[in-house]
Amino acid sequence: MKIQSAIYIYVVGFALAVLILIVLFIYPTLRDVKATSRNLFNQKEQLMALEQESIEFERFKRQYSAYESNFKTIDRLFIDQQNPVDFIKFLETMAFDSDVFLKIDFLPSFEAKTSTGALFRLSAKGDFTNVVQFLQKIDFGPYFVDIKEVIIQRLIHSEQSTKREVEADISLQAFSSS
């Protein structure tokens, strides 16, 4: 019986030694292998995404000349924020074409608040339909603008006057590309 109990003790001791070996050496190694394989998989996914971006970029570079005219057209929608002379000339031309007297105030303090454009305050005087026509020309013109506020007041004339003259205060933001 002593031999049999000694065998059980050796078997239990061997089983405990194997279990300790697994817990101390094999499990951490398997855990590291799992983490490393997960990391490798993530890196492969990132590499595939970068390769796809590279392919798309090369295709875009080859087709750039086809898009170039569209880019130039889009660029002309924006004003030069540092020198909005062309936009001011556009406003003056539209006012003249609409038979509207126009006063333009450029508000440079707006530039400090946002870099997306410049704010203009317009004072327009003329016949109501001409002022509305002027607003439509600005809205559908060649520049990307956002008309923020329009206040229209009828001008009081003598009883003999049949004109429907109004004064309009207009706030608009003209967007810039920078």
Minimum mean pLDDT among 56-60, 136-140, 162-166: which range?
A: 162-166
Minimum mean pLDDT among 45-49, 110-114, 137-141, 162-166: which range?
A: 110-114
Residues 102/123, Cβ–Cβ less than 8 Å: yes
Quick one: what percent of the chain has pLDDT higher than 70? 90
The total of structural domains in the chain comes to 2
pTM for the structure as a whole: 0.59
Q: How far apart are the first and last CA of the chain?
A: 94
The CATH number for 106's domain is 3.30.70.60
Evaluate whether residue 94 is within a structural domain. yes
Note whether 2 and 44 are same-domain residues. yes
**Mean pLDDT over the full length of the chain:** 83
Biggest distance spanned by C-alpha atoms of the chain: 135
Residue 167, domain extent: 85-175
Evaluate whether residue 35 is within a structural domain. yes
Beta bridge partners of 103: 123
Q: Which residues contact 164 (CB under 8 A, 6 or more apart)?
A: 127, 128, 129, 154
Note whether 137 and 171 are same-domain residues. yes
